[in-house]
Amino acid sequence: MWAAAPLLLLLLLPPLARLCRRGAARLEPAGRAVLITGCDSGFGHLLALRLHRLGFTVFAGCLCPGGDGARRLQREAGGGGRLRVLQLDVTRSCDVRAAKELVLRHLPERGFWGLVNNAGISTFGETGWLPMETYEKFADVNLLGSIRTTLAFLPLLRKYKGRIVFMSSIIAYFTLGNGIYSMTKAAIEKFCDALRLEMKKFGVQVCIIQPGNYARSTKIQPPVSAEEIWNELSEEEKAVYNKEYVQERANFFNSILSEGSTNGNEVVDAMVDALTSPAPKARYVVAKLKEKALVFVCALFPTVVMDFFLSYALSK
């Protein structure tokens, strides 16, 4: 009898959590500030507009504050002064410091509620195809950039018992031609796991968003060109691979991109829930059923099983 108790508890936890989430009141956005990185386009752009409509004071960090995306964001938000576009390159400490100073000067009455680490970049290429400079750039943007902004705003988040939301991906569990992106997402997940436990004592909640394939919605990864990949390979790599192989891999990756969802608002819904729910989830998986199944296999089955499935997919 007692041996079955842990299993029974495991089965009861999800419905009990849903009941708690339904019973408590959602957050009142008015008078609360949220900073979002990567608002030039994609999820960050959509989220900034959504939070503005809900009543939050939004600080929209853009890599190019004078670019088309930032100008469109300001037009779509209209007047009112609750949405501010600011220069924010997450790889530059001076930009992060300036963003914090701006937020402090314009904090609304209920203070700083949320930080959304959304900025990120993606590319395609097998491990030996990419130079060390590319690895350093991706680590700086996708991993260290999120850590850099988080460390800067932690004092404010602790003071106001706010929320931190990180943009990860189901690619943190496996890779199909973009291992450099998977590497950074897996690393940020471990950072989040440590941070989530450490922040509980301060009343700060940390959430991870794990989208599936939304390449067509975010444009984070444009279609790849086999010719460009081949031209950038070192002579050592060209001696190992041939143009036909590179073309096959590029075609495979482009076919995956073409299957991506165009409805980015599905992911934004999860981000909004993470910021406003009285009992947010630690992880939000927003993906198709087959993508969730792949994550399930990867998380619960031995590595040899996952390698078999992925090797089979790549062979096709």
From residue 224, alpha-carbon distances to 123, 139, 167, 248 in Å are 8, 21, 23, 11
Structure tokens at 191: 């950072």
Handedness of CA 188, 153, 90, 70 (dihedral sign): positive
Q: Within a 13 Å sphere around the CA of 292, how many CA atoms are in the beta-carbon half?
A: 7
Q: Are 240 and 182 in contact (CB under 8 A)?
A: no
Catalytic site residue 214? no
Cβ 149 vs Cβ 190: under 8 Å: no
CA separation, residue 272 to residues 78, 111, 168, 208, 209 (Å): 20, 18, 15, 12, 11
Residue carrying the six token digits 């450490």: 198
Which residue of the set 160, 181, 214, 284 is catalytic? Answer: 181
The C-alpha angle with vertex 69 and arms to 63 and 75, in degrees rounded to 5, equals: 125
**Catalytic residue annotation:** 181
